[in-house]
Amino acid sequence: MRDAELSAALLHWYDRHARVMPWRVSPQDRARGVRPDPYRIWLSEVMLQQTTVAAVRDYFHRFTTRWPTVADLAAARDEDVMAEWAGLGYYARARNLLKAARAVVDAHGGVFPGRRDGLLGLPGIGPYTASAVAAIAYDEPATVVDGNVERVMARLYAVQTPLPAAKAELTALAAGLTPDLRPGDYAQAVMDLGATICTPRNPACGLCPWNHACLAREQGCQTELPRKMAKAEKPVRRGVLWLATRGDMILLERRAETGLLGGMLGFPGDAWDGRGGDAPAQAEWQDIGEVRHTFTHFHLYLTVLTAELPVGAAVTRGEFVPRDGFRPADLPTVMRKAYDQWRNIVPR
């Protein structure tokens, strides 16, 4: 098949099999003139970075219910946005989300730039997100390449070069297939193909609209592609969290805006994150065990120490808040693991 025939075949498949997403306009509605909301497309793409669709759906619903427009999000308090983001991970995304929303309002009159180049000027928006918003929201024929698309291209063309070295080649191949007509639907179609048919394991080749053109299927190596360089083993960091209470109060510390878990609420810790510090008070700290969490580049093992401080006791870090006055769900995952361990061991 020629590139144009491949693109047309995929769009025909997408018209019948498009996934239903809360941020997506169906191909039928688009044909009737319904336009995607750039705000919803951008928000979903930021949330979906290194996160599954299943994990994102509830977060997306909460965000768009609470902040239905980019202007609403731009006017939100930082701590409210960080709290709603808690548990989704990669917290720099939330900080950049606010920066970009405010830039859209302050510099663009509340309207997202309509071209990829303009979108790249917004904080936290890289080539992938800019291409996705430009294609899906504005029908610019921008090439959208995520992990699903890389896998589809590697198999369709039987690319043997391992990732990440193959990224440029796979992007060029994807660009050759991106049509001028319906590029937004095409971008979503090829991602859907990778997510539902051309899956990492046991691809459903018999259902694929490109199966007759797929070189990997012809060669019988589709399950072996894309090849990947062996990953280095993640290092392990160890540290301490201090979980202190005083009467019906619990000690929390808001982290610095930059760096790991930036801007999030948590418990005082030592220098496992390159910041840390000393214990927040002189006390008889009780070891209640260890929590483990994996970040992108390392595994973290944290010893949780707890103490009940006397009424009036001063602390050198953080602030006491009512135990019933904060939501544990506002904590990042590693801090919530420590809180859950404390709650299961220490009586209220």
Residues known to be catalytic: 45
End-to-end CA distance of the chain: 68
The two structure tokens encoding residue 235 = 């290092």
φ, ψ of residue 276 in degrees (nearest 5):
55, -150
CA distance 171 to 295: 27
H or E segment and range at residue 13: helix 3-17
What single string gives the DSSP state of each residue in 176-201?
A: HH--SSSHHHHHHHHHHHHHHTS-SS
Cα dihedral 122/127/132/137 (nearest 10) = 40
- CA 291 to CA 317: how far, in whole Å? 22
As a dihedral over the C-alpha atoms of residue 138, residue 143, residue 146, residue 147, rounded to 10 degrees, the angle is 150
Q: Which two tokens stand for residue 179?
A: 């049509």
Taking residue 14's Cβ as centre, other Cβ atoms within 10 Å add up to 22
Q: Among all chains, which residue has been given the structure tokens 């020629």? A: 2
Q: How many other C-beta atoms are found inside a 10 Å radius of the C-beta of residue 198?
A: 29
Burial (0-12, 13-18, 19+ Cβ within 10 Å), 96: middle
Count of CB atoms situated within 10 Å of the CB of 169: 15
**Residue 68, amino acid:** P
Tell the burial category of 113 from Cβ atoms under 10 Å away from its Cβ (0-12, 13-18, 19+). buried
